[in-house]
């Protein structure tokens, strides 16, 4: 079993790709698929979180990148809707 860890320092500060311990071709593939956005050889912390989730889902469920990305997107939408429901209840 492989363990993937994604660390980032400041949520507001984009991280240089050179500091991320993920193969650059994998990051480029995710960017080409529209899963993450790379700007000026940097990536936002929200994308790092998404990458971590995708890698975990791929490892645990054995699904391909596209399926893992769809799962993560749906989980994010569910979380957003749950937040909206909580806000409306108040």
Taking only the tens place, the pLDDT of each residue in 25-60 is: 888 999 998 888 888 888 888 888 899 899 999 999
Residue 50 in any domain: the answer is: yes
Residue 53 in any domain: the answer is: yes
Of the pLDDT bands very low, low, confident and very high (cuts 50, 70, 90), residue 79 is very high
Note down the domain range covering 82.
15-89
Structure tokens at 23: 């193969």
Structure tokens at 55: 């890698």
Residue 3 in any domain: the answer is: no
Is this prediction's pTM over 0.85?
A: no
Which residue did the predictor score with more confidence, 82 or 45?
82
User: What is the share, in percent, of the chain residues with pLDDT greater than 90?
Assistant: 47
34: region left, alpha or beta (phi > 0 left; psi from -120 to 50 alpha) = left
Residue 61 in any domain: the answer is: yes
Residue 8 in any domain: the answer is: no
CB atoms within 10 A of CB 69: 21
pLDDT of residue 5 exceeding 70, the answer is no
Residue 9 in any domain: the answer is: no
- Residue 13 has what pLDDT? 78
pLDDT of residue 8 exceeding 60, the answer is no
Residue 2 in any domain: the answer is: no
Give the number of domains in the chain.
1
Residue 25 in any domain: the answer is: yes
């Amino acid at each position: 079993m492989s363990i993937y860890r994604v660390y980032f320092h400041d949520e507001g500060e984009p991280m240089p790709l050179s500091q991320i311990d993920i193969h650059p071709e994998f990051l480029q593939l995710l960017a080409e698929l529209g899963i993450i956005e790379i700007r000026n050889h940097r990536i936002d912390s929200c994308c790092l979180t998404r990458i971590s989730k995708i890698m975990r889902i791929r490892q645990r469920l054995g699904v391909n990148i596209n399926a893992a990305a769809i799962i993560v997107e749906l989980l994010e939408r569910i979380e957003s809707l749950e937040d909206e429901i909580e806000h409306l209840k108040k």
